[in-house]
Chain A
Amino acid sequence: MNRITKDKLFIYCTKLIIGISLVIVFSILLFILYKGYKGLNSGFILTESKSFGAEGGILYQIIGSLMLTIMAGIICFPIALGAAIYDSEYLKNPKIKSITSTLIFGLNGVPSIIFGIFGLIFFVNILGTGISWLVGSVILAFMILPTALTASRQTMESIPKKYREASLGLGLTKWQMIRSVIIPQSFSGSLTGLFIGLARAIGETAPIMFIATAFSGVTIPYNFLQPAVTLPTHLLNLAQNAVNPSALQNAWSTALVLIFLVVVFNLTAMILRFKFKTYTPQR
């Protein structure tokens, strides 16, 4: 086999691999769409669930999921931004930099159930918070922290050195330089990372099922220390009662709504990345 044939074969192989991946993803999506759309109507979205979810809608589950996810974003973003600033602008020792990177990647690889167990032991048992949606948000925030932090840091490190030097050369302090150059120019990249993390967080069940959610009998929490109902745990509950055709239909429709929300967060991340891409190399 000559070089040109090998080259063509390699291209075909990569096309085949991407094709298989797309077929799998779209098959799952189309199947859920096919199964879920039958039960989807305004009543399903705008009413509360009844009979442990077998009847009624998922209004409170949607609100609960959004509350947990948005609060996780609010908690995660400043921590990720601050840590990324320290890592890219102040931390110069390459050994310590390498250790922190390894730890961050390590945190990303921790199974989500471990976060849930940690939350249960630390917050619920030791601190005695009880089952609280805020605790769930804190745990989700830590879970998505590596994604948000890595995105922020990469955006900051991609800002050319000349911008730092030009601003410092005008007599700006390091903090003034960070405030006027680094943060504005990495903001959209940081937000993109955050939204990618949130897209993952909204679909998580394991980290929140012991510490933040109830399976039923809960409406909208009126303080930080009350549990919420969420889409993933509701889906789990319905799947366990799948012998009931009505519960099974609601499970498919809930899955469709959950996927829609995940897609919305991912699309937001994509829009932020393309629309507000500020640091293009200059001539």
Chain B
Amino acid sequence: MEHALKVVKIAQDKDELLSIREIDIWFNEHHLLRKVSMSVPLNSITCIIGPSGAGKSTLLRSINRINLEDGFAINGSIWMNGKNLYDTDTDIYETRKNIGMVFQQPCIFPTSIYENVLFGIKHHQKLSKPEKVNIVEENLKAVSLWNEVKHRLHDKAETLSIGQQQRLSIARTLAVKPTLILMDEPTSALDPKTSLSIEELIVQLKEKYTVILVTHNIDQARRIADKVVFMCEGSVVEQGTCTDLMNNPQEKLTKGYISTSHCDC
């Protein structure tokens, strides 16, 4: 164990939270990802862009190991904090707890706003009532929802607008104190104004968390990303800092996608 940690400390940069190394993913006979490698810097926003079917969501879901369905197979490794997430001795539930996930559609449980925030954390630790109240307040404030809902915490969460529901989903994710947050097109179901407010929230989050965001929206990536990874047909075509990749793409496919939002791959 000690030996493994030393090896990883050499292999991972100190400002790098996650390192994906040559992963291939299959679902039954379909080869979905091919030799994908990328690194994710600490306290940054990494945007994965690419056309539909490029494998962005597959890659994202393989990071917190939520795609372990029958027929799923992976080769390669994903390292985080000196640990290969696919090692047989890795605690899958601890991994998922440390790597929060926000989905395309806000996923609100049919219970109160208060209970939604506590939904995950209450399964990980025993909480007294004052602790619960503090967690709810702290995390709703972190997503700028507190002032809007503080007088109706016990109302059904479904009564919130769709943008508020997405904020609540993020608050619930933050409550379990993840290190890394995966976001799978979290604004695609929202109107432009709400979308921008979620973007602002994501930018605020990077002070404390590291974010990987899958998006179709190149302008969104341009606005908030520190690093951009362009994927096409299950492979990483190009990756780099947002400024470099957006202003000076090296690959023809990347240039085409950035200028037209279409990919000829």
B interface vs A, CB < 8 Å?
64, 66, 70, 93-94, 96-98, 100-101, 103, 105-110, 119-120, 123-124, 158, 162, 165, 169, 172-173, 176
Q: Is there an interface contact between A163 and B97, defined as CB atoms closer than 8 Å?
A: no
> Assuming A168-B96, A169-B66, A170-B97, is B172 touching A162 (CB within 8 A)?
no
Chain B proximity of A131: nearest CB distance (Å): 47
Q: Is there an interface contact between B172 and A170, defined as CB atoms closer than 8 Å?
A: yes
Interface string of A164-188 (1 = CB under 8 A from B): 0111111111001000110001000
Segment with Cβ contacts to B, from A4-12, A117-125, A249-257, A275-283: A275-283
Q: Is there an interface contact between B93 and A162, defined as CB atoms closer than 8 Å?
A: no
| Chain B residues positioned under 8 Å from A167 (CB to CB) | 109, 119-120
> Assuming A180-B123, A282-B158, is B93 touching A171 (CB within 8 A)?
yes
Nearest CB in chain B to that of A166: its residue = B107
| Chain B residues positioned under 8 Å from A165 (CB to CB) | 66, 101, 103, 107
| Chain B residues positioned under 8 Å from A3 (CB to CB) | none
For this complex, 23 residue pairs linking A to B, each with C-beta atoms less than 8 Å apart, are: A162-B103, A165-B66, A165-B103, A166-B103, A167-B109, A167-B120, A168-B66, A170-B120, A170-B176, A171-B93, A171-B97, A171-B98, A171-B120, A171-B123, A171-B176, A172-B120, A173-B93, A176-B123, A180-B119, A181-B109, A282-B108, A282-B158, A283-B165
| Chain A residues positioned under 8 Å from B109 (CB to CB) | 163, 166-167, 181
Chain B proximity of A214: nearest CB distance (Å): 48
| Chain B residues positioned under 8 Å from A172 (CB to CB) | 93, 120, 123
Q: Is there an interface contact between A169 and B123, defined as CB atoms closer than 8 Å?
A: no
Q: How far is the CA of A173 from the CA of B98 in the complex (A)?
A: 14
| Chain B residues positioned under 8 Å from A278 (CB to CB) | 110
Q: Is A95 an interface residue (CB 8 A)?
A: no
Q: A171-B93, A180-B119, A278-B110 are in contact. List 7 more A-B contacts (CB 8 A).
A: A165-B101, A165-B107, A166-B103, A170-B173, A171-B123, A171-B124, A181-B109
